[in-house]
Amino acid sequence: MNTMRNNKRSAGKLIKALAASAACIASLTVANPVHAVDFDGERVEWIIPFKEGGGSDTWARFFAPLISENLPGKPAIVVKNIPGGGSTKGANQFQRKAKDNGLNIIGTSGSTQFPYLLGDTRVNYDYKNWTPVLASPTGGVFYVSPELGIKSAAELASLRGKELKYASQGATSLDLVPLLAMDILDIDVQAIFGMKGRGAGRLAFERGEVNVDYQTSSAYLKKVVPLIDEGKVVPIMSWGVLDEDGNLQRDPNFPDLPHFAEVYEMIHGKKPEGTAFKVWKAFFAAGFAAQKGIFLPKGTPQDVIDAWGDAVEKTVKADDFKSRSELVLGDYPQAVKGKAVKAFKAALDISDADRQWVRDWLTSRYNVQL
Amino acid sequence: MLDAFLTALQTVMTGTHLLYLAGGVLLGLAIGIFPGLGGIAGLSLLLPFLYGMEPTTALAMLIGLVAVIPTSDTFTSVLMGIPGSSGSQATVLDGFPMAKRGEAARALSAAFASSLFGGLFGAVVLTGFVLIARPVILAFGSAELFMLTLLGLSMVGVLGGNSLVKGLSACGVGLLLGSVGGAPATGEYRMTFGNFYLMDGIPLVVVGLGIFALPEIIDLLRQNSAISEAAELGRGWVNGIRDLIKNRWLALRCAVIGCIVGALPGLGGSVVDWIAYGHAVQTTKDKDGFGNGDVRGVIAPESSNNAKEGGALIPTLLFGIPGSGSMAVFLGGMVLIGIEPGPSMVTSNLDVTYTIVWSLAIANVVGAAACLFLSKWVAKLTTIPYALMAPFMITVICFAAYQATRDLSDLVTLLGIGVLGVLMKRFDWPRPAFLIGFVLASGMETYLYQALQFDGLGFLLKPGVLIIGAITAISIYFAARHATNSGKDDSCTETSTDSSTQAKPLRPTNLGPQKLFAGAIFLAFAYGLYDALQQSMLGGVFTGGVCGVMLILSGIVLFKLVTNQVDDAVNFDNEVAAGYQGDQSIASLLHYVYWIAGLIVSCYFVGFLISIAVFFIAFLLVKARASILRTVVLTSSAVVFMATLAHVMVLDLPSGFLQEAVQMPWPLN
């Protein structure tokens, strides 16, 4: 069946490609596009700069058929995994090769946004060129082992001087957020690197090899909450969520847990301030508040952007979306169109001074050479 | 538990479930036979269709696919010497020599029967093991995993060939290459020369293809014959099954090894087949046939690698931590279907777990039976003149290597490792030892560092560490005893043995080429040490330590060669031993390396499809002396096949400067 369909496709492909490019040229020269956007019979390639089976891949494969239904002409959406270079490779390739006809999109995650913010030498892409149409947020919860003898965030200060260990994927991964958070709270944590993922970190925690850990919301809800009842985990705080004005609020998934800014105040007795906190918030935004996003490449015409925006909006507003998406996305509002643009603007804006500060912090603290 | 067991059995035995399972199996076989694609591409192909399917039927298809990945990749391993996936690298060692001897059908049927046995036995073990798996997995921390890598490394003792110093040096080269890229402790880049490709480390698939497949292809091309030396294939497939029955205890032990090592997250499935293979060599009295087509060398890895897939289910289901690449995709598929892995899989969802485990077993039966059925015909491939097969195989290998990271550097690396493989084969530096070093390097360093950080030196006193340490010591003891025994045997039976392959090889007297190679290896270790000294302590201590030891060992090899110790075991040159030297009808060693290099360089300029088209035409006309018509037919079928495959699977083929500069129509873009 597949080959049959493929033969038919490949036969018409050349003509369609020619027609599409002709239409493209037409729409560029004639300022006013004659007809509405239609992807009938086309194939959208969605680049995911990560391996098959990971979080971002699952996220994309969840969305692909749903968005396809809502795009004009219902094109097939295929996910194309281009892993490598800590996700910079796929993003670089997208920057270099993507066509602006609405058939090339990329889905990035915090791991793509962090090297960009840090000014990693491997980064040859610029988010400023791309247009986001969806921002998927998540949250995170920090927890400790009951052996440390504290019950809540209020007692965090008593951990100073104790031997705290944290199993990490690397200082420039999403782990930058918890590591910097502990540093801001003046709590010394020894990071042990080389973990293959957050799951491996959690396993090290369960084995008792480390005594502090964090997980993103969905993993926390499914895999850590059962351990609370067994008395193996003491939840301390969530990172929080950003409200419309960019202030930290409690995470609706964890209303009983204080967010990081509250904990800052408990520990230091004043509202959060200073470069370190500003940097933390920037990376929190890029790693959690707007963790994953769908982007269209440079120069995509407005009508194509609108078509995508409408399709994504229709997808997330569907009646059964919430129930279907909970397992993959957790209970967070998906930001579309203008809100997605705003979310990523907040997440990807970092001043040169702040960037230098975090680079210096990584070098002095973890010997990272970027 | 019995409830869950019965519910699961009911689900598994329904018609629709079996139908979808069989569908998944067939899809898996069709894709898995193509090296480099393996299950991951198949699963990705399936995932879009899973959405909206009824969960249990979708699950059935998924499992069908996963189950047969380590089954169907055996075809290329045995018939062509191309390791289809990292799980069947050890199968190549004895399976391919068997095919060359004309026993392809026997090797295949032994392999598939072992796969079937391993898969079924794995399912039985899992049914009980899943209930106690959680504490067992939690007991295996970084310290225990480090000890397991040491156990794996001890296999070098039995797979290291005739000269121990050479075997260890080969293993050291593997360790060194395996440490290229980011250091686990600090993320510093080692030995990367500022190259982005090397920063991610060298992919195992490319190394496996380069070190085993390319040297074999080149060797066969030089001999210019069919793969099978015997024209008759024989009715070997009953023999293969008989072989398994005869070696049932070996298969049983290897299935247990597969199950347990597969269940430990973090070690990765790629060592399982080597541990099983090493175990087979260790526990066998007459081990001379290993590497030259001993059927036990096929049975051991094949019965372990299907059991491994079942074992790998455990951490995936219980902790949501995939033990292998295909399990990662399986996990993604489960989440899309709406099954969330976690502790509940052994409590409230135990029936789902059993459904998965038993579906896996049935899929193994269906898959292995289908392969057994096919193997009679597929084995005929080995009688085709090699010059006609070669362009297809080179294309397939390049394509498979390119799927590793989808970067043209994959092909360059393939060629580089291929040349290393050719030279190691020529000078008898044991390639399995090299590969074991490569596979274990990163795990060894990571777990050692983590164990030291978690527990300090005290990790050496953990009970698990002591137990695995004792097993390692026993394993080394047996290896050493066998080595001395077989050494004695050799000396008294050497004259009486009639085995042509085991006869005393001709010793070359001109050691020049060997000196150059050993010298280059020595310098590589010296560079590794220099590089390690540029890093921070944590970033460089492992490679520095390895290189320090290896400088001594490879130094001994070099010394023996430089001082012209002709009779030492170190001295070997296949060009002399096989009688190639001075034979005008045999192409030079590098002749076909240039052909492949030409293909790869051409990919940089005009992309893959045009390159293989040109390569096919040139090769078939010049080397195979095929007729124009035949050339055209073979070339166009290869090109159409590759283009179709790439399109259906949403895979990129390598593109070159031409594609960057000019907008090309499909499929040339």
Q: Which residues of A touch B344 (CB under 8 A)?
A: 226
Q: How far apart are CA B109 and CA A165, in angstroms?
A: 51
Chain B, nearest residue to A78 by Cα: B650
Report the pLDDT averaged over residues A219-225: 88
Average pLDDT (B624-631) is 90
Upstream peptide bond of B505 is cis (omega within 30 degrees of 0): no
What is the mean pLDDT of the segment spanning B550-570?
90
What's the burial of B377, exposed, middle or buried (CB within 10 Å: 0-12/13-18/19+)?
exposed
- pLDDT of res. A33: 46
Strand order in the sheet with A43-48: A76-81, A43-48, A104-108, A292-296, A131-136, A335-336
SS3 per residue for B416-462: HHHHHHHHHHHCCCCHHHHHHHHHHHHHHHHHHHHHHHHHHHHHHHC
Give how far A247 is from chain B: nearest CA, Å.
32
Give the β-pairing of A234-238 and A212-216. unpaired
| Confidence (pLDDT) at A231 | 92
Least CB–CB distance from B666: residue in A10, A54, A219: A10
A-B contacts at Cβ under 8 angstroms: 150
Q: How far is A61 from chain B (nearest CA, A)?
A: 7
pLDDT at A14 over 60: no
Cβ pair B650:A45 closer than 8 A: yes
User: With an 8 Å Cβ cutoff, are A52 and B52 in contact?
Assistant: no
**Which amino acid is present at B170?**
A
Query: Is B61 in contact with B50 (CB distance < 8 Å)?
Result: yes
> Sign of torsion, CA A171 A174 A177 A182?
negative
Question: CB-based contact (8 Å) between A14 and chain B?
Answer: yes
DSSP conformation class of A81: E
Q: Is the Cβ pair B336, A328 closer than 8 Å?
A: yes
- Comparing CA positions, the residue from B25, B31, B35 lying closest to residue B44 is B31
Angle of helix B350-378 relative to helix B236-246, nearest 10 degrees, comes to: 140
Cα(B343)–Cα(B478) distance, rounded to whole angstroms?
40
| φ, ψ of residue B322 in degrees (nearest 5) | -70, 135
By CA distance, what is A68's nearest residue in B?
Answer: B48
| In the predicted structure, residue B107 carries a pLDDT above the cut 70 | yes
Question: What is the distance in angstroms between the Cα of B409 and the nearest Cα belonging to chain A?
Answer: 12
Highest mean pLDDT among B229-238, B372-381, B604-613: B604-613
CB contact under 8 A, B450 and A85: no
CB B433 within 8 A of CB B169: no
Asked if A85 has any chain B CB less than 8 Å from its own CB, the reply is yes
pLDDT score of B250 more than 90: yes
Instruction: Test A165 with B453 for CB contact under 8 angstroms.
Output: yes
- Nearest C-alpha neighbor of A23 from the set A81, A127, A102, A128: A102
Task: Tell if the CB–CB gap between B186 and A207 is shorter than 8 Å.
Answer: no
Considering only residues A222 and A279, tell me which one the structure prediction assigns the higher pLDDT: A279
> Which chain A residues touch B142 with a CB distance below 8 Å?
204, 209
Residue A328 burial (CB count, 10 A): 18
Q: What is the predicted pLDDT for the residue at B260?
A: 84
Residue B443, chain A, CB below 8 Å: the answer is: no
Nearest-CA distance from A254 to chain B in Å? 20
Which residues, 6+ apart, have CB-to-CB distance to B422 below 8 Å? B214, B215, B218, B589, B593
Rounded to 10 deg, the angle between the B296-319 and B236-246 helix axes is 70
Q: Is the CB of B321 less than 8 angstroms away from the CB of A207?
A: no
CB proximity B458 to A under 8 Å? no
Contact at CB, B332 and A57, closer than 8 angstroms: yes
**pLDDT band, very low/low/confident/very high, at B500 (cuts 50, 70, 90):** very low
Residues B596, B8: Cα–Cα separation, whole Å = 52
Minimal CA–CA distance to B531: which of B223, B299, B193? Answer: B193
| Mean pLDDT of the region A331-345 | 90
Closest CA to A333 of A317, A346, A310, A309: A317
Q: Do B650 and A2 touch (CB under 8 A)?
A: no
ipTM: 0.83
Looking at the complex, report in whole angstroms how far the Cα of residue A313 sits from the nearest Cα belonging to chain B: 20
Q: What is the pLDDT of residues B438-479, one digit of tens each?
A: 989 988 999 999 999 998 888 899 998 999 999 889 888 877
B648 contact A CB<8A: yes
B226: enclosing H helix or E strand? none
Pairwise CA distance, residues B297 & B281, whole Å: 8
Asked if residue A2 has pLDDT above 50, the reply is no
Amino acid at the residue B83 = P
- Chain centroid to CA B55: 33
Q: Report CB contact under 8 Å: A10, B667.
A: yes
Q: How many Cβ atoms from other residues are within 10 Å of residue B632's Cβ?
A: 14
Percent of chain B with pLDDT over 90: 29
Distance CA(B407)–CA(B521), nearest Å, equals: 27
Question: Minimal Cα distance from B138: which residue of A?
Answer: A207
Mutate to test the interface with A, among B192, B196, B334 (most CBs of A within 10 A): B196
Average pLDDT over residues B601-615: 93
> Which residue on chain A is closest to B140 by alpha carbon?
A207
Per-residue pLDDT, B335: 80
Distances (CA, A) of B441 to A169, B173, B480: 18, 10, 23
Residue with tokens 């009808």: B585
Interfacial B residues in 165-204 facing A (CB < 8 Å): 184-188, 196, 199-200
Cross-chain residue pair B141–A54, CB shorter than 8 Å: no
Distance CA B341, CA B310 (A): 15
Residue A106 in tokens: 């990329």
Please state, in angstroms and rounded to a whole number, the distance separating the CA atoms of residues B391 and B402.
Answer: 16
**What is the model's pLDDT at position A36?**
79
Q: Which amino acid is at B599?
A: L
The architecture in CATH of the region A36-136+290-353 reads 3-Layer(aba) Sandwich (3.40)
The answer to whether the CB atoms of B342 and A21 lie below 8 A apart is no
> A41 at the B interface (CB within 8 A)?
no
Work out the average pLDDT over A172-197. Answer: 93
H helices of A150-251, in order, are 176-184, 198-206, 217-219, 225-229
Query: What does the pLDDT look like over A56-106, one tens digit per residue?
Result: 988 998 899 899 999 999 998 988 888 888 899 999 999 998 999 999 999
A224-246 pLDDT, tens per residue?
Answer: 998 998 899 999 999 999 988 88
Q: Nearest chain B Cα to A86, which residue?
A: B200
B-proximal residues of A, 133-192, CB under 8 Å: 165, 167, 170-172, 190, 192
Per CB-CB distance under 8 Å, the chain A contacts of B405 are 83-84, 89
* Per-position b or e across B253-281, b if 16+ CB within 10 A of its CB: bbbbbbbbbbbbbbbbbbbbbbbbbbbbb
Query: From B183, which residue of chain A is nearest by alpha-carbon distance?
Result: A194
Q: Is the CA virtual torsion B156, B160, B165, B171 positive or negative?
A: negative
Cβ-defined contact of B342 to A84 (cutoff 8 Å): no
CATH 3.40.190.10-classified regions of chain A: 140-287
A13 contacts in B (CB within 8 Å)? Answer: 666
Verify whether the Cβ–Cβ distance B650 to A79 is below 8 Å: yes
User: Considering CB atoms only, which of A6, A79, A200 is closest to B266?
Assistant: A200
Mean pLDDT to the nearest integer, A304-331? 89
**Strand intervals (E) in chain A:** 43-48, 76-81, 104-108, 131-136, 140-144, 164-167, 189-192, 212-216, 234-238, 241-242, 248-249, 292-296, 335-336
CA A30 to CA B308: how far, in whole Å?
Answer: 61
Specify the pairing of strand B189-190 against strand A189-192: unpaired
For CATH 3.40.190.150, the residue range(s) in chain A are 36-136+290-353
Distance of alpha carbon B310 from alpha carbon B308, whole angstroms: 5
Give the integer Cα–Cα distance in Å for B545 and B540: 8
Determine how β-strand B181-182 pairs with β-strand B189-190.
antiparallel
End-to-end CA distance of chain B: 56
To the nearest whole Å, the CA of A277 is away from the closest chain B CA by 25
- Residue in chain B closest to A197 (alpha carbons) equals B321
Cβ separation of A172 and B644 shorter than 8 Å? no
Mean pLDDT, chain A, rounded, equals: 88
- Lowest model confidence (mean pLDDT) among B24-38, B213-227, B533-547: B24-38
Return the structure tokens found at A190.
């020894």
Q: Please state, in angstroms and rounded to a whole number, the distance separating the CA atoms of residues A132 and B30.
A: 39
Q: How far apart are CA A227 and CA A203, in angstroms?
A: 12
A199 and B663 within 8 Å at the Cβ level: the answer is no
β partners of residue A191: A166
Distance CA B186, CA B205 (A): 25
Q: Give kind and range of the element (H or E) at residue B155.
A: none
**Closest to A222 (Cβ–Cβ): which among B322, B342, B454?**
B342
A369 vs B278, which has greater pLDDT?
B278
Nearest CB among A2, A58, A207 relative to B335 is that of: A58
CB contact (8 A) between residue A199 and residue B343: no
Compare CB distances from B647 to A10, A65, A170 and report the shortest one's residue: A10
Q: Where are the domains of chain B?
A: 2-229+241-488, 507-572, 591-661
Residues of A in contact with B449 (CB under 8 A): 192, 194
Residues of chain A in contact with residue B407, where contact means CB-CB under 8 angstroms, are: 84, 89
Rounded distance between C-alpha atoms, residue A224 and residue B342, angstroms: 10
Contact B100, B229 (CB under 8 A): yes
Pairing of β A164-167 and β A189-192 = parallel
- Does A140-287 carry CATH code 2.20.25.90? no
Q: How far is the C-alpha of B554 from the C-alpha of B228, rounded, in Å?
A: 36
Token pair for B102: 């004309």
Q: Which pLDDT belongs to residue A1?
A: 37
Using CB atoms, which residue from B48, B648, B665 is nearest to A65?
B48
* CA B112 to mean position of chain CA atoms: 17
Spatial separation of the C-alpha atoms in residues B381 and B389, rounded to whole Å: 9
How many angstroms separate the Cα of B277 from the Cα of each of B244, B263, B304?
A: 15, 18, 9
Out of A82, A204, A223, whose CB is closest to B320? A223
Tokens of residue B658, six digits: 């031409």
B187 and A209 within 8 Å at the Cβ level: the answer is no
CA distance B233 to chain A (A): 33
Q: Within an 8 Å CB–CB cutoff, is residue B542 touching chain A?
A: no
| Total Cβ atoms within 10 A of residue A29 | 7
